[in-house]
Amino acid sequence: MSERTTADLAQGDSAAEAGRRFKLLVLSSTYPRWPNDPEPGFVHELNRRLASHFDVVALVPSARGAKRRERIQGVDVVRFRYAPSWLEVLVNDGGIVNNLRRSPWKYGLVPLFLLSLSFELLRLRLTWRPDVIHAHWLIPQGLIAGLLRLGARRTPILVTCHGAYLFGLRGRVMSSIKRWVFSRVSHATVVSQGMLKFALDAGASGNCVTVQPMGVDLANSFTPVSEVERRNDELLFVGRLVEKKGLRYLIEAFAVAIGKRPSLSLTIAGFGPDEDELRRQVGRLGIEAHVQFLGAVRQAELPGLYRRAALFVAPFVEAASGDQEGLGLVVVEAMGCGCPVIVSDLPATRELPLCDSFRFAPANVKQLAERIDHVLGMSRSDREMAIAAAREELVSRYDWSTVGKGYARLIKDLARPRDAGQS
């Protein structure tokens, strides 16, 4: 972070309070640690578009190798320490829930994480005095913001639910916590229409929750390129290697599909805690020669993968914890690049503009293999025309220019009562 920014935070510049420019404090667990970080970057992508409307500070966990403070594309990033650097391993490489499932000893880091987040949030509220707090994820960010709101009710809180903590973490205690968080925030957003019912069932008020998706750069990055020749025999998967992504079902279906189409290959772009088990599965099925694990792939490299693949497969499932996809932006990215897609039929994916022949029942290996064969049996022009017809609708709903404006309007509406001196 620049010296100017540091001073601004310390002095609590009052430009927003004068009605010229509001201050937005963003809380998130997932955030890029350095340039070309393979960690999901959608929170930052939203922040940098909001930075044209507000002074934006992102409060995120520290990670080994990341700068404690820096300014990235107009966003001031403050990373809080919650353990010695070698122990700051709760958040990245799969997310908090998956890290806890894989390594139960990390539960010992949770109290440190919550205390550190609380301290830094309180410090910034007292020194920088944000006009709105935007908490990504209901728990823990929404929970901590709600707890600290007890001492300063005038700061509006917007919480965005992405999936994991809304769908999962079931049981009486967690259900009570979610209900309490919804009662403390000023407004909540969910990233898909399919999530809305879950939010209402969890305690969100009907007039205080709206659907506001995350976005994809469909105007500049994820676009079709006619000069790139699409392959006839390559399946593509992109995503974290965790249970809810359903990759093990795709691998099993792929082993069936190559019985009919021996030239097929499967490219897997992503990393996560389930990688070793998935590699073992590929070995047990004897299909190592047909499957390539790319590991972590830079965001800038993804359009090239989508443009060359014959078919993108999103085999999402509901995990044992109840967690499932909130939206599945990788599907939007693939369609934006003109890549034919097939997706599992979950609440969040039903709003994507796809006909039934491009959908299959979650965890149904037989139907997935049949869908792969059916779509690959279509002519290339028919496959691509089906996706091209949906692209205009995708742009109107999911391009960052639209998504950013929607969140900016919502945040300004939340900030105005305080700007006018109302409690």
Residue range 121-172, pLDDT digits in tens: 999 999 999 999 999 999 899 999 999 876 555 789 999 998 766 666 667 8
H or E element, residue 389: helix 380-398
- Report whether pLDDT(6) > 60: no
Is residue 256 domain-shared with residue 367, that is, in the same domain? Answer: yes
Nearest to 87 by CA among 68, 69, 61: 61
Residue 226 within a domain: no
227 located within any domain: no
Q: Is residue 423 part of a domain?
A: no
DSSP code at position 216? B
| Domain-located, residue 321 | yes
Least confident range from 82-91, 96-105, 255-264: namely 96-105
147 and 244 belong to one structural domain: no
Residue 423 pLDDT: 41
By residue count, the chain amounts to 423
* Shared-domain flag, residues 393 and 413: no
Q: Are 393 and 406 within one domain?
A: no
Q: Has residue 11 got a pLDDT over 80?
A: no
pLDDT for the residue numbered 301: 93
Q: Which residues pair with 293 in a beta bridge?
A: 268
Q: Are residues 271 and 240 in the same domain?
A: yes
The least confident of 2-16, 250-264, 324-338, 401-415 is: 2-16
- Give the total number of structural domains in the chain: 2
Q: Are residues 248 and 325 in the same domain?
A: yes
Instruction: Kindly report, residue by residue over 207-232, the tens digit of the pLDDT.
Output: 889 999 999 999 999 999 887 888 88
Strand bridging mode 187-190 / 265-269: unpaired
Span 372-382, average pLDDT: 87
Q: Are residues 145 and 251 in the same domain?
A: no
Average pLDDT over residues 17-31: 84
Whether residue 208 sits in one domain with residue 95 = yes
Domain shared by 195 and 304, yes or no = no
Rounded to a whole number, what is the distance in angstroms from the first to the last CA of the chain? 32
222 lies in some domain: no
Query: Phi-psi bin for 302: left (phi > 0), alpha (psi -120 to 50), beta?
Result: alpha
Q: Which residue in the block uniquely carries the two structure tokens 């001196």?
A: 421
Joined tokens for residue 48: 């940098």
**Which residue would you say has higher pLDDT here, 17 or 396?**
396
Could you give the CA distance from residue 242 to residue 275 in angstroms, rounded to a whole number? Answer: 8
Rounded to 10°, the helix 275-285/247-260 angle is 20
CATH code for the domain of 48? 3.40.50.2000
Confidence of residue 70 (pLDDT cuts 50, 70, 90): very high
Q: Is residue 139 part of a domain?
A: yes
Residues 89 and 195 placed together within one structural domain of the fold: yes
Q: Do 240 and 150 share a structural domain?
A: no
240 found inside a domain: yes
**Residue 224 belongs to a domain:** no
- DSSP alpha helices (H): ranges in 150-270? 164-167, 172-184, 193-201, 247-260
Q: What are the backbone angles phi and psi of residue 226, rounded to the nearest 5°?
A: -65, -25
Q: What are the φ and ψ backbone dihedral angles of 210, each rounded to 5 degrees? A: -135, 160
Q: Which residue has the tokens 């970057």?
A: 41
pTM for this one?
0.87
Residue for token digits 């594309």?
A: 73
Parent domain of 75: 3-215+399-418
Query: 246 and 380, same structural domain?
Result: yes
